[in-house]
């Protein structure tokens, strides 16, 4: 076997040429291979389990050896953050062991181990010895039956060194089965332990070389020297070895990269796509060209995995925030992607829940079933057309829960941010109803029940409640139960998206760690554990489609096996630094003992050399960058500069090294757009290009095989959805409310789009202002006091009763206020709410008013067959009145409860003429049959209705729950305000408003603005005050032509 060895090259793809006896390995892969050949392979625990084992060893030392160096050094930090302390100590321990350090020998050297400046190393040695003692005695982890040792990769290396030394000294032949090992970079940059292993292998007959060449200079016929082979087979200039394509944004970068891949793939040349960033945009353009996709997503990155697990557990424990559940509902566990593609056809968007995960289908089966279904629909004679129709197939991102449940819960929590109340239960009921007809209804209902159980009825309760919620401790077994469900759920989707393997591995590791820890674990430590486990994971594997010539990698070092073209997608990342673990005095003492640790600067040099050597093996490198991408990734990767320097014969100080190697995509697009589109010419974009531009274009792709411009090859992806409304017919079937009327007054176009065309925001949106939620909750408290008959007419509800109802309602409608970190806010709100509501009931009793109903529904007509208002025929107004009352003389009245931070907004509205209370009064008059004329019209005396009370005599008021004040124009309430318009004038202006807007729409235009001076048919149109006309509404008031005949 021939081995090509490079640091960090683990995960490199197999060679693109027949290579049964050749393999490219990194440090972990070669260590595993040597262990297998030497017969010393043994199970190695994950990093998380090893940290848990060390955590137990530290605890053992602190409890049994309180005067030890280790106890004095790390006791305080371990007591505050045990996992973080154990993680740091294990990192130092592994570095020392990899260098050949022995804890027992260190402790035996009293002169060194007793020095104050070497206290850390002595403490680590004591903990190491304690861990070995616990493992040898088979002492299980606390609260478990698990026995765990610290054995890991560093210990594996020392085992290999020991066995190779024994074999070398004994002279006994050992069949290693390795013919040669070629180190792709300078071998002297390797850690000393690896240099020792390579020297021992050389003594045993293995040929070891480095620097980029072997004796033959080839790898199974492929050049390994990294020579500057030409772009199209011949020799080329240095500029053709490296090419940087600069684009304006990610979309241009994706188009450029797809064009390059298309050209290379059409010539069946080997290539490798290097993608350290998400390729979701690139995959879109690859699919449009019918090319295999890369499949690197955002959801399988360590940060995304950590976020998902942390959010899931945060939503499962008590207390939790509303946003924890909302975020979990809208957090994908895997990115959506195009499954199959062809040059034309429609893009069918399919939910992964039903198309992939729940049916356990792989991509081929999905595609085949789609073809079969469409073929049956189209008929056997049109199978080819049906095949073409289904060639493009796209799945939504994969989520933990079904889409309808996620949407309903998100909308519910956005409107009523609480758990277990009527709104929550209604959302679950609607979800069950939605899936009742599904063939897998039982499975969906079980998911819905699990959702309610995990995040509402059976939360994981804290064992010990500290002052800081982050310090709460939870039973590990309860957390394992939730994680086991998560693992089972994720496993159902693994075959749909291989990126989920990383998430699955992280969940498995976390379960193993919690089993090892046993007992209880704090929330802060749990988050540290998740962070550690996620950081030790690589990406979950590239979900690339099979291809004969193309390969894919996420790290430059893993491109070591590629000798063709490297296409580097978004080659831009910030410079990184590797912090040193050892202190200078510690390093000096260790080097005096012949121990050389590779960390900090030394490890960074090795990593850089490995990545650079891997890229230099390619015949050419085409790197695509974007001016606008992600803030931390705005500058080109530093490796590009080193590659440019390697291809610059005589660099001068101050030169822009990358400039000679850079072309701009905008220039290339301009060149491509000059292509002659006459028959016979469009296949060759270079035919009409100037000579100097042709050379730049050829530097990117082979123009002789360049396909037609994309606009000529591909049909449009998805046609824009066109919507229309019937001329003059969009109001009769509409039920308006006072809030809709105010929307029409603010922005008629917004009302048209949202209420008539039903174009609304997505389910995931910004939550409303906190005042809105508080106001809704206080409304619910007042309603519950009346409905549950805790309020008796003429009496005042006592404060203790209000407090009791407050606690119940807040948990259901304002759950965040039950969280410990909201204790002060909750207490302040409770005090203010109790005082305000108590004052409300007290004032009603003082005014001899009694509440007759709360949240009373009403429907009223705005016009009855009035020829002057054809648009209003059959139009109704509807809504709910907060509180209806009866005065001392038996008249009905209306009260609207408000919770607003402004002290002037509602009073100013009352003075200008409040549309809301005017509608309520006319509706109440109509409902009680107390008015002798059609609502809103002048009294003609022609009606047959008997009148007992005029609407203007119905008292109305606003009560400010935050200010504890009354605002009214009725004499029955205190502090009466003077109004500018009567209720009759307000209703008349409201009718004119709707008819005016309808007339404008009927002529195909939207009104630019509605002001107090606007009139319609000589009558004033209702408008809001200037303070209510916010700038964002005025910004959208522009003349809009509507398609169709609205006359």
Of 2-11, 334-343, 517-526, 567-576, the range with the lowest mean pLDDT is 334-343
In tens, the pLDDT along 906-924 reads: 888 888 888 899 999 988 8
> Look-up: residue for tokens 């290379």?
264
Of 34-48, 511-525, 533-547, 782-796, the range with the lowest mean pLDDT is 533-547
pLDDT at position 1008 is 59
pLDDT band at 1006 (very low <50, low <70, confident <90, very high): low
The pLDDT of 350-357, averaged and rounded, is 44
In tens, the pLDDT along 821-841 reads: 788 888 899 999 999 999 999
pLDDT at position 457 is 92
pLDDT at position 41 is 82
pLDDT at position 1040 is 40
pLDDT band at 592 (very low <50, low <70, confident <90, very high): confident
Please name the helix (run of DSSP H) or strand (run of DSSP E) that holds residue 957, with its range, or none. strand 956-960
The pLDDT of 854-879, averaged and rounded, is 76
Distances (CA, A) of 665 to 255, 257, 276, 627, 802: 10, 10, 21, 11, 68
Tokens of 498: 């291989």
Q: Which has more pLDDT, 1001 or 949?
A: 1001
In tens, the pLDDT along 108-121 reads: 886 666 667 788 88
The pLDDT of 301-326, averaged and rounded, is 86
Q: Give the chain's mean pLDDT.
A: 75
* pLDDT at 219 exceeding the cut of 50: no
pLDDT at position 17 is 56
Tokens of 621: 């490198």
pLDDT at position 200 is 93
Long-range contacts made by residues 778-783, C-beta under 8 angstroms, separation at least 24? 778/833, 778/836, 778/837, 778/897, 778/899, 778/961, 779/882, 779/897, 780/809, 780/812, 780/813, 781/805, 781/806, 781/809, 781/833, 781/837, 782/837, 782/840, 782/854, 782/882, 782/883, 782/897, 783/854, 783/855
pTM: 0.72
In tens, the pLDDT along 440-494 reads: 889 899 999 999 999 999 999 998 776 677 678 899 999 999 999 999 998 887 7
pLDDT at position 386 is 35
pLDDT at position 199 is 93
Nearest to 957 by CA among 877, 875, 1038, 843: 843
pLDDT at position 631 is 54
Of 1-15, 51-65, 130-144, 360-374, the range with the lowest mean pLDDT is 360-374
pLDDT at position 447 is 93
In tens, the pLDDT along 670-722 reads: 554 444 444 444 444 333 333 334 444 444 554 333 333 343 333 333 344 44
pLDDT at position 112 is 64
SS3 272: strand
Q: Which has more pLDDT, 383 or 867?
A: 867
In tens, the pLDDT along 356-367 reads: 333 333 333 333
pLDDT at position 711 is 35
Of 28-42, 684-698, 986-1000, the range with the lowest mean pLDDT is 684-698
Q: Which has more pLDDT, 973 or 496?
A: 973
* pLDDT at 930 exceeding the cut of 50: no
Q: State the SS3 of 337-397.
A: CEEECCCCCCEEEECHHHHCHHHCCCHHHHHHHHHHHHHHHHCHHHHHHHHHHCCEEEECC
pLDDT at position 480 is 93
In tens, the pLDDT along 735-780 reads: 788 888 888 887 777 777 777 766 665 544 445 556 678 888 899 9
Q: Which has more pLDDT, 137 or 428?
A: 428
* pLDDT at 981 exceeding the cut of 50: yes
CA angle 409, 415, 416 (to 5 degrees): 80
pLDDT at position 654 is 62
* pLDDT at 669 exceeding the cut of 90: no
Q: What is the DSSP string of 999-1037?
A: HHHHTT---S---TT-EETTEE-----TTTS-HHHHHT-
pLDDT at position 485 is 95
Of 43-52, 79-88, 580-589, the range with the lowest mean pLDDT is 43-52
pLDDT at position 20 is 63
Q: Which has more pLDDT, 295 or 91?
A: 91
In tens, the pLDDT along 153-205 reads: 999 999 999 999 999 888 888 888 899 999 988 888 899 999 999 999 999 98
Q: Which has more pLDDT, 546 or 216?
A: 546
**Is 949:891 a contact under the CB 8 Å cutoff?**
yes
pLDDT at position 955 is 93
In tens, the pLDDT along 250-270 reads: 888 988 888 888 888 888 888
**Is 537:506 a contact under the CB 8 Å cutoff?**
yes
* pLDDT at 561 exceeding the cut of 70: yes
Of 417-426, 514-523, 583-592, 627-636, the range with the lowest mean pLDDT is 627-636
pLDDT at position 678 is 41
């Amino acid at each position: 076997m021939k081995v090509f060895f490079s640091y960090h090259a683990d995960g490199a793809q197999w060679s693109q040429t027949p290579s049964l006896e050749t393999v490219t390995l990194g440090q972990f892969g070669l260590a595993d291979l040597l262990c297998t050949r030497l017969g010393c392979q043994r199970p190695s625990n994950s990093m998380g389990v090893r940290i848990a084992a060390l955590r137990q060893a530290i605890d053992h030392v602190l409890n049994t050896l309180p005067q030890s160096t280790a106890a004095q050094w790390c006791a305080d930090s371990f007591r505050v953050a045990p996992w973080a302390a154990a993680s740091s100590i294990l990192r130092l321990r592994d570095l020392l062991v990899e260098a050949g350090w022995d804890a027992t020998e260190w402790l035996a050297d009293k002169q060194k181990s007793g020095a104050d400046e070497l206290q850390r190393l002595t403490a680590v040695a004591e903990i190491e010895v304690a861990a070995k003692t616990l493992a040898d005695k088979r002492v299980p982890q606390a609260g478990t039956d698990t026995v765990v040792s610290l054995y890991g990769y560093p210990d594996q290396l020392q085992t290999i060194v020991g066995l190779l030394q024994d074999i070398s000294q004994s002279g006994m032949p050992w069949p290693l089965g390795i013919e040669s090992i070629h180190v792709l970079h300078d071998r002297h940059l390797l850690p000393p332990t690896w240099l020792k292993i390579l020297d021992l292998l050389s003594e045993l007959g293995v040929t070891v070389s480095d620097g980029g060449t072997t004796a033959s200079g080839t790898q199974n016929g492929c050049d390994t020297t990294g020579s500057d082979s030409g772009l199209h087979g011949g020799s080329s200039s240095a500029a053709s070895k490296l090419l940087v394509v600069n684009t304006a944004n990610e979309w241009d970068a994706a188009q450029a990269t797809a064009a390059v891949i298309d050209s290379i793939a059409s010539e069946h040349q080997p290539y490798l796509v290097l993608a350290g960033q998400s390729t979701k945009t690139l995959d879109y353009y690859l699919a449009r060209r019918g090319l295999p996709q890369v499949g690197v997503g955002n959801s399988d990155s360590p940060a995304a995995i950590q976020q998902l697990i942390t959010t899931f557990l945060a939503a499962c424990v008590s207390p939790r925030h509303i946003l924890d559940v909302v975020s979990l509902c809208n957090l994908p566990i895997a990115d959506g992607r195009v499954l199959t593609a062809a040059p034309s056809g429609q893009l069918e968007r399919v939910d992964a829940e039903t198309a992939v995960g729940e049916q356990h289908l792989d991509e081929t089966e999905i595609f085949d079933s789609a073809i079969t279904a469409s073929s049956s629909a189209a008929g056997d004679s049109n199978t080819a057309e049906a095949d073409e129709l289904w060639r493009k197939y796209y799945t939504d991102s994969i989520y933990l829960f079904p889409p309808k449940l996620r949407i309903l819960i998100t909308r519910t929590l956005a409107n009523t941010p609480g758990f277990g109340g009527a709104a929550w239960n209604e959302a679950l009921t609607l979800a069950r109803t939605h899936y009742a007809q599904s063939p897998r209804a039982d499975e969906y209902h079980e998911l819905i029940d699990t959702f309610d159980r995990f995040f509402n009825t059976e939360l994981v309760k804290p064992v010990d409640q500290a002052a800081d919620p982050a310090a709460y401790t939870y039973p590990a077994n309860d957390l394992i139960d939730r994680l086991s469900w998560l693992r089972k759920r994720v496993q159902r989707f693994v075959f749909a998206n291989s990126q989920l393997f990383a998430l699955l591995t992280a969940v498995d590791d976390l379960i193993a760690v919690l089993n090892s820890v046993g007992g209880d674990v704090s929330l802060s430590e749990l988050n540290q554990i998740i962070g550690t486990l996620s950081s030790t994971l690589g990406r979950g594997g590239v979900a690339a489609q099979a291809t004969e010539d193309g390969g894919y990698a996420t790290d430059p070092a893993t491109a070591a096996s590629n000798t063709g073209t490297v296409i580097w997608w978004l080659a831009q990342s910030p410079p990184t630094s590797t912090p040193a673990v050892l202190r200078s005095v510690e390093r000096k003492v260790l080097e005096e003992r012949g121990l050389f640790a590779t960390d900090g600067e030394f490890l960074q040099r090795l990593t850089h050399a490995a990545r650079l050597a891997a890229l230099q093996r390619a015949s050419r490198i085409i790197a695509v960058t974007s001016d606008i991408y992600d803030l931390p990734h705005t500058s080109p990767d530093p490796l590009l500069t080193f590659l440019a320097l390697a291809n610059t014969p005589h660099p001068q100080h101050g030169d822009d090294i990358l400039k000679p190697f850079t072309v701009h995509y905008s220039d290339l697009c301009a060149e491509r757009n000059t292509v002659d589109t006459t028959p016979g010419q469009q296949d060759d974009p270079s035919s009409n290009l100037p000579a100097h531009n042709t050379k730049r274009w050829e530097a990117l792709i082979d123009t002789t095989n360049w396909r037609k411009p994309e606009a000529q090859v591909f049909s449009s992806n998805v046609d824009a959805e066109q919507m229309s409304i019937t001329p003059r017919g969009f109001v009769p079937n509409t039920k308006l409310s006072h809030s809709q009327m105010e929307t029409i007054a603010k922005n008629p176009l917004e009302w048209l789009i949202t209420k008539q065309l039903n174009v609304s925001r997505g389910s995931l949106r910004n939550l409303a202002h906190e005042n809105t939620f508080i106001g809704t909750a206080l409304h619910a408290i007042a309603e519950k006091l009346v409905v549950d008959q805790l309020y008796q007419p003429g009496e005042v509800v006592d404060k203790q009763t209000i407090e009791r109802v407050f606690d119940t309602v807040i948990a259901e409608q304002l759950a965040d206020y039950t969280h410990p970190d909201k204790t002060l806010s909750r207490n302040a709100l409770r005090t203010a709410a109790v005082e305000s509501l108590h004052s409300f009931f007290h004032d009603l009793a003082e005014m001899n008013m009694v509440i007759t109903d709360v949240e009373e529904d009403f429907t009223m007509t705005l016009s009855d067959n009035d020829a002057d208002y054809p648009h209003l025929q059959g139009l109704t107004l509807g809504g709910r009145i907060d509180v209806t009352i009866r005065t001392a003389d038996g008249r009905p009245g209306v009260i609207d409860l408000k919770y607003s931070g402004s002290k002037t907004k509602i009073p100013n509205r009352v003075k200008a003429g409040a549309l809301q209370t005017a509608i309520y009064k006319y509706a109440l008059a109509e409902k009680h049959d107390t008015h002798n004329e059609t609502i809103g019209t002048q009294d003609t005396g022609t009606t047959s209705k008997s009148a007992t009370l005029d609407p203007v005599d119905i008292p109305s008021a606003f009560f400010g729950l935050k200010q504890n004040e009354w605002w009214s124009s009725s004499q029955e309430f205190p502090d009466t305000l003077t109004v500018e318009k009567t209720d009759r004038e307000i209703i008349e202006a409201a009718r004119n408003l709707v008819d005016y807007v309808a007339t404008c729409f009927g002529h195909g235009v939207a009104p630019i603005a509605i002001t107090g001076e606007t009139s319609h048919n000589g009558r004033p149109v209702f408008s809001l005050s200037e303070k209510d006309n916010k700038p964002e509404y005025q910004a959208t008031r522009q003349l809009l032509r509507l398609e169709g005949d609205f006359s």
